[in-house]
Chains A and B, each alone.
Chain A
Amino acid sequence: MTRYTGDKAAVAALVQGHQVHRDVYIDPEVYRLEMKHLFANAWIFVGHDSQTPNKGDYFTTMVGDQPVIQVRHTDGEIYVLYNRCPHKGTKLVIDRTGNTGKFFRCPYHAWSFKTDGCLLAIPLKKGYENTGFEQTDAGHGMKSVGAVMNYRGFIFCRLAEEGISFEEFFGGSLSSIDNMVDRSPAQRLEVAGPPLRYMHKCNWKMLVENQTDTCHPMVAHESSAGTAVRLWKELDMPEGTPLPPAMEIIAPFTSPYEFFENMGIRTWPNGHGHTGVHHSIHSNYTEIPGYLDKLSVTHGEEKARAILGENRHNTVYFPNIMIKGPIQQLRVFIPLAADKTLVESYIYRLVDAPEELTARTAMYNRMINAPTSIVGHDDLEMYERAQEGLQADGMEWVNIQRLYDPDEDFEQESVLNGTTEKQMRNQFHAWVKFMTHDMPAREAAE
């Protein structure tokens, strides 16, 4: 029995402003519709262009449930192609990164394709003469996604051929990527090593919502950050002893509610938003000697100070990534099933900046976001408990009502108290929009 497929009203009714129905997290049918509509119609993060610096370099990943290849073509441009031989469906490459030279060659029947997807050669091609092969999908080579954008090194794509433009989709939210890239004296980031890969037995949206959930750190992370603060105090260091880098990173997780309230949350249209408008847990890191001077050569001192003074905490790019500008981290929440999500956490080096900044970022990544992280352990515990708890039939709705205003507007940028759940509501507002706007047409075409 299908309850949601082809029924726009039923999908829209899953979101009621102050609450959402549990089926958005646990129902496999809703998950399939997300892959088909939301992840096709929105702009989805693919990778960073420094992951494929040279011609023929490729990187494989998923856009929603679609296997894709990010590849640098002979003209220097980056293409995003479906990872499927047009012949029998074989994945053309299966390693995560590599260099394919000037063309992809399928290991099954040796069909080959240029790195922009065009068909290059088929062995014994005579066998297709007068068969109408040129008119088939297979005859047209590898299929490209609908649209690709390289924004300051970050590669996004839209699977659908037609739809919202990149600029309209992201709007003012691009200021968070700008701030991250502007922190490099060369105005350029480079990926630093492979990402952490952390498997979560929960719905992908729980992770995205957690990024702007400012009422959980002092509770869920008391065991890690609280223990660290207590043991540091017990060392009884002389007054004024600077905190070691690990303590600078972990201690702010125990900040009181007031800290998070005053930190502020900003929302933008189409589901994007960030915590840390006025300050954040990243505000009080020790200055790295020489960095401001280097950045001032690029921007002038006033602008350089303004760039470093912006300490946005987590910026959510709807639907499924989060970036931290002040430490050059990006986390992508890759949905694998209604109850399974792969989290990949990348870090980037600020080109021409002191390497100590990369070391701090690497430390943050492993301390907070690794499968071995004492902070990550408690987050994952909460998500997996929620995934199981939502099976309880007594209550079918999940509350997202904190600082709710029935008249709130999602079409304008807004700045609010840092403990509001408006950004979660903003995400669900966009969720309904991109889930339903092409539903009737698409279902009718089946």
Chain B
Amino acid sequence: MSVTKDDIIDFLYDEARMLDEGRYDDWLALWLKDGHYWMPLDYKQTDPLNVTSLMYEDIFMLKVRVERLNGARTFSQKPKSRCHHVLQRPWVDEIDLEAGRIRTTTQMHYVETRLDEQMLLALTAQHDLALIDGRLRIANKRVDILNCDAAFGNIQLLP
């Protein structure tokens, strides 16, 4: 089994498209079951557990998060938010299939909007990917917000 750099880059673009189009079931299916989505609170944060992060969620809590978006009594999503990712071409930092390790870094601009408000965030996403049965999967994802230490209003979707 092999994977090319183009396959990996296509995978990352497809993931962003799923988020922008709200195809969350497809998105959750990309994840390995013990993966975590981590969004640090501090610049260059190293510890996800013993200091506060903006997010550090396992698959169950990610599922709660996306299920909630469509709930009948999800008041902060009436009306719904929309989001938009603009990706710079990802860096494929490492492909080591014997060790089962693929690492990428992707810089992007993220726009989220609801009612008359629109917010722009500059992000760096680091993916740990794995090739399972010929299919790329997300083992872990870290998303750093450039101004992570600024005060934000609601960030409701998935940057």
Contact = CB atoms under 8 A, between A and B. Distances in A.
A193 B52 contact: yes
Contact of B73 (A197, A222, A246, A355): A222
A195 interface: yes
| A-side interface mostly | helix
B36 to A, nearest CB: 12
Given A371-B154, A372-B155, A374-B65, A355 B149 contact: no
A223 B153 contact: no
B111 interface: no
Contacts of A358: 50
B99 interface: no
Interface in A78-124: none
A345 B68 contact: no
Contact of A197 (B61, B63, B150): B150
Nearest to A357: B50
- Range of interface residues on B (Cβ < 8 Å): 20 to 34
A365 B63 contact: no
A367 B54 CA distance: 8
A223 B41 contact: no
B75 to A, nearest CB: 5
Contacts of B155: 371-372
Interface string B72-98: 011111000000000000000000000
A224 B49 contact: no
A371 B65 CA distance: 14
Contacts of B14: none
A128 to B, nearest CB: 40
B50 A376 contact: no
B60 A231 contact: yes
B152 A192 contact: no
A372 B54 contact: yes
A363 B41 CA distance: 13
Contacts of A323: none
Contacts of B53: 362, 366
Q: With a 10 A CB-CB cut-off, give which of A226, A246, A370 has the most chain B CB atoms.
A: A370
B132 interface: no
Contacts of B1: none
Contact of A227 (B58, B71, B149): B71
A380 B154 contact: yes
Interface string B44-66: 01000111111110101101110
A362 B75 contact: no
Contact of A246 (B51, B60, B152): B60
A194 B153 contact: no
B156 interface: yes
Q: Which 10 A-B pairs have the closest CB atoms?
A: A193-B51, A197-B151, A381-B76, A223-B74, A371-B152, A377-B76, A199-B151, A223-B71, A372-B54, A365-B52
Interface of A: 192-201, 220, 222-224, 226-228, 231-232, 235, 244, 246, 342, 345, 347, 349, 355, 358-359, 362-363, 365-367, 370-372, 374, 376-378, 380-382
22 contacts: A193-B41, A193-B42, A194-B42, A194-B52, A195-B52, A197-B149, A197-B152, A198-B153, A223-B74, A231-B63, A345-B52, A349-B50, A359-B50, A365-B52, A366-B53, A367-B61, A372-B54, A372-B55, A374-B65, A374-B68, A376-B154, A378-B75
